Amino acid sequence: MNLEQKLQRLSDAFGVAGFEDEVRGVLQEMAAPYADACETDPLGNLICSRGSGDPVMLDAHMDEVGFMVRWIEKDGFLRLTALGGWDNRILMAHRVTILTRSGEKVHGVIGSTPPHILSPAEQEKVVPLEDLFVDIGARSRDEAEAFGVHIGDPATIHYPFLRLREGYVTGKAFDNRAGCLVAAEALRLLAQERLPYKLVVCFSVHEEGGLRGAKVAAYRIAPKLALALEGTIGADMPGVPEAKQPVRLGKGPAITLADRSITVRPRLARFLERIADENGIPYQYKLPAYGSTDAGAIHLERGGILAGVVSVPCRYIHSPVSTLYLADLEATIKLVVAFLRRAGEFL
């Protein structure tokens, strides 16, 4: 498979926070041939390692923002609660996929009231998630349950991965399947090289629920150095001033200097810059201090861990139609591989 096909597999896989089994299976298949060992910890983190010595950790969270069924109405409509941060403005009138206990998927739509019967004020109102409902075609609670749907089942908005034009693609969950692919490709590309440390790649769970998986994994791995890989906030679009665009598409990987969860040690940030310059890799800075990443949890474990963040620019994250340039993804992989070849300098 080429890079685009791998991203498609990861994007289309179901992996709502706390329910990452399907995407973990895809990543196990991608990573295991290039690792000495892969194991799943009690929280669901997939941890793959190769080599020996002091650990260097790559982290990429598997989970995507999604929902959980919180109630089934007597007439068969579903009510949802959020798993991760959703923008209420985009929720209405989307298709959803619900993963049932049996592993089957049930499809539905988030219903919307026709504008014909709304007042002008109601038409302008953003409807909160708690007031929205999902229509799965059931006519009663019993029928919905007969379809396999129960309270607690996870759901996500899902439109299939699509190439918009050559090198420019759209799909769900690029935050953070793009970062997952960078980590898996780094493991593959370095498989024949002897590194002066133990490379540990953690595909973590529950980032969208509060950086939970990476916190546990970092304590267990106890790395001397860590790099979190993300798909981050591309906002180069009409109506957003340049000073408020955290990253821009087409400018290469984004190096984080500071966000809401970490201020990266300057010597690590400068090292990443130098690696990029020496290898002719374009890069940009993620403007402070938007968002947070697993590095925020990792760097506080074990008395403190030197940690940084490198991200793939993605527009429209936390929506079902994220977009990215494959050239940015490729450049991010090159930067991370070049960094890992030199990471022993920090140990």
Catalytic positions: 207
User: Quick one: angle between helices 21-31 and 174-189, nearest 10?
Assistant: 20
Q: Which two tokens stand for residue 278?
A: 């020496």
Pairing of strands 66-72, 78-83: antiparallel
Q: Is 39 exposed, middle or buried (0-12, 13-18, 19+ CB in 10 A)?
A: exposed
Instruction: Give the integer Cα–Cα distance in Å for 320 and 172.
Output: 4
Residue 46 has a CB neighbour count (10 Å cut-off) of 26
Residues 290 and 245: beta-carbon distance below 8 Å? no
Cα–Cα distance list, 9 to 29, 162, 203 (Å): 11, 11, 16
CA angle 22, 312, 50 (to 5 degrees): 60
Nearest alpha-carbon partner for 250 in 163, 307, 177, 327: 327
**157 contact partners, CB below 8 Å, separation of at least 6:** 91, 94, 95, 96, 97, 110, 172, 319, 320
CA distance 295 to 217: 12
